[in-house]
């Protein structure tokens, strides 16, 4: 049973599991969860919100109704609620060990470990341990203020003065914040991996081609390519953590020097997982099989595979004022792209997303995440 069925990434996960022969149910606290409308979803189960005290009890009840022993959480809050709960004890849940998850969730701890083993990282300081003046002196300006714990762009701000930093500190007095060197955007990419207890790691690398907002955000177009430097640094870091399970290690390339810098480790299913699946690496199935104790073998994947989040890519092209590319680019691409959501064989999730995604742009939290970062 796939949890967090309201998320965009739940759709390719459901499809990938079904393609490998799994019976797939979807659970969500939202009745309009797009993944429930997939032709591959056999049953839908309403559950409590992950922020509710009843969440784990509702998941257990839904799983028993579904007569399944496999649960696949996709989002951080769900994962955090499941660790140490009856859900983790009674069901097969493909999660990294909690120590790995906590290391990745703590960006300061990740950066400190990475730096100690020679992985390139942006200069970073904890603002609670330095005066604003000393922090700026060490990191420089412009810089990025971000929460010590969490993933993605939530709470991340570009700052160009000490006054801005002080203002953020006052507004977020209860949050541990870091000041991090700003890496001029020369591209982004990452390594996706499943590190098993038995067998060989399944490893895949990709390059982001476009994002929304264009200056840096969720990827809207990506390509499967070899990134030897990224792969070497990422695997070195995962080995140092003694990682097991799924991970996506994200890097950003400096626009001037072209050096790759570590951004974070995602210890859950990542938003662009559809690309890996389209290129031949079925990470959802591999994760379940690893959780069952099966031996994992090295995977082969198709270099040059493109995958696109269509709606986000349209917003990228509009925001970039590249209107002609809206019409002609599909004919100029070296290979026809796969799509995160769009599918003629499974159209209903696309229809639901078509209605929900534009409405979501009016959500204040989404607006803050996409446009509130200052770059």
Q: What is the pLDDT of residue 2?
A: 99
In whole angstroms, give the CA distance from residue 198 to residue 57: 32
Q: How far apart are CA 121 and CA 108, in angstroms?
A: 11
| pLDDT score at 322 | 65
Distance CA 36, CA 62 (A): 14
> Using an 8 Å Cβ cutoff, are 252 and 219 in contact?
no
Task: State pLDDT tens for residues 177-221.
Answer: 999 999 998 999 999 999 999 999 999 999 999 888 776 678 899
Q: Does this model's pTM top 0.85?
A: yes
Q: Of 81, 76, 68, 89, which is closest to residue 2 (Cα–Cα)?
A: 68
Taking 70 as the pLDDT cut, the residues of the chain under it are: 152-153, 215-216, 321-335, 357-375
pLDDT for residue 206: 98
Domain spanning 185-342: CATH superfamily: ATP-grasp fold, B domain (3.30.470.20)
Question: How confident is the model at residue 89, as a pLDDT?
Answer: 96
CA distance 48 to 53: 8
pLDDT in tens, 286-304: 999 999 999 999 899 999 9
> Is the CATH number of domain 123-181 3.30.1490.20?
yes
């Amino acid at each position: 049973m796939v949890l967090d069925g309201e998320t965009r990434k739940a759709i390719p996960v459901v499809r990938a599991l079904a393609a490998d022969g799994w019976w797939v149910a979807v659970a969500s606290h939202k009745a309009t969860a797009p993944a429930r409308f997939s032709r591959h979803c056999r049953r839908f189960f309403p559950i409590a919100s992950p922020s509710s005290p009843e969440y784990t009890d509702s998941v257990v009840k839904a799983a028993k109704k579904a007569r399944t022993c496999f649960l696949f959480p996709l989002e951080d809050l769900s994962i955090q609620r499941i660790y140490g709960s009856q859900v983790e004890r009674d069901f097969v849940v493909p999660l990294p060990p909690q120590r790995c998850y906590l290391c990745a969730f703590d960006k300061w701890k990740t950066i400190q470990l990475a730096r100690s083993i020679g992985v390139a990282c942006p200069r970073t300081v904890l603002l609670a341990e330095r005066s604003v003046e000393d922090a700026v002196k060490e990191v420089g300006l412009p810089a990025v203020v971000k929460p010590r714990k969490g993933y993605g762009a939530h709470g991340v701000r570009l700052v160009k003065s000490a006054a801005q930093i002080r203002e953020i500190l006052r507004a977020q007095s209860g949050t541990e914040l870091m000041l991090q060197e700003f890496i001029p955007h020369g591209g982004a990419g990452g390594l996706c991996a499943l590190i098993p207890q038995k067998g060989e790691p399944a490893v895949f690398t990709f390059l982001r081609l476009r994002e929304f907002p264009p200056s840096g955000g969720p990827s809207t177009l990506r390509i499967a390519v070899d990134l030897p430097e990224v792969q070497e640094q990422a695997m070195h870091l995962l080995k140092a953590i003694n990682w097991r399970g799924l991970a996506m290690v994200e890097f950003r390339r400096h626009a001037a020097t072209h050096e790759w810098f570590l951004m974070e480790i995602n210890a859950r299913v990542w938003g662009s997982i559809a690309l890996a699946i389209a290129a031949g690496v079925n990470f959802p199935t591999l994760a379940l099989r690893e959780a069952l104790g099966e031996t994992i073998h090295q995977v082969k994947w198709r270099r040059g595979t493109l995958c696109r989040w269509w709606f986000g890519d349209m917003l990228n092209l509009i925001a970039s004022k590249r209107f002609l590319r809206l019409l002609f680019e599909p004919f100029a691409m070296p290979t026809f792209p796969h799509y995160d959501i769009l599918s003629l064989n499974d159209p209903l999730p696309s229809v639901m997303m078509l209605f929900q995604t534009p409405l979501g742009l009016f959500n204040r939290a989404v607006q803050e995440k996409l446009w509130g970062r200052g770059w």
